[in-house]
Structure 1
């Protein structure tokens, strides 16, 4: 720590009493972690709402065949 500036050294000196109270084994995400989680939760909620809206517009009924049943179909024989 020989290359620390004077202001950084002063800041470290003032934070030493706080460091004694700080538990190094306990890590919390803080406010930023909560904000990121909340934004991600809102994004997932919006995507799910949009997906439900789009799935409601899908027609799951199969259309009846346009070709008659007796029409010739492709048998897989190729002339090329």
Structure 2
């Protein structure tokens, strides 16, 4: 496997002169930054929509104590724990 530090140092020597040409007071994210931000926003929107759809399927009906006790005894009788 090739040594990765050599390729990293080679890449840095090519990028350092490019960084010196940019005015430090006028650096902006640019088009790539906008595309990344827009993609992340779309992903969050899709996840929220999916979560909303799944939460709509959940039934939040609480069972009474009597129903819970009868469910426990029927489950115990099925497993043979008595």
Which deviations, in whole Å up to 9, do the C-alpha atoms of 1:25-61 show, x marking residues without a partner? 1210011000000000000000000000010001001
What is the alpha-carbon distance in structure 2 between the residues aligned to residue 67 and residue 47 of structure 1?
38
Structure 1 position 66, deviation (Å): 4.1
Structure 1: 5+ residue runs without aligned partners? 1-7, 13-18, 69-80
Structure 2: 5+ residue runs without aligned partners? 1-13, 71-82
4+ residue runs of structure 1 moved beyond 3 angstroms? none
Is the radius of gyration larger for structure 1 or structure 2? 1
What is the alpha-carbon distance in structure 2 between the residues aligned to residue 32 and residue 66 of structure 1?
56
Q: As a proportion of its length, which structure holds more helix?
A: 2
Superposition RMSD on alpha carbons, in Å?
Answer: 2.6
The number of residues matched between the two structures is: 51
Report the CA distance shift for 1:23/1:67 in structure 2 as closer, same or farther (over 3 A). closer
What is the alpha-carbon distance in structure 1 between the residues aligned to residue 58 and residue 48 of structure 2?
16
1:43 is aligned to 43
What is the alpha-carbon distance in structure 2 between the residues aligned to residue 40 and residue 50 of structure 1?
15
Structure 1 position 23, deviation (Å): 3.6
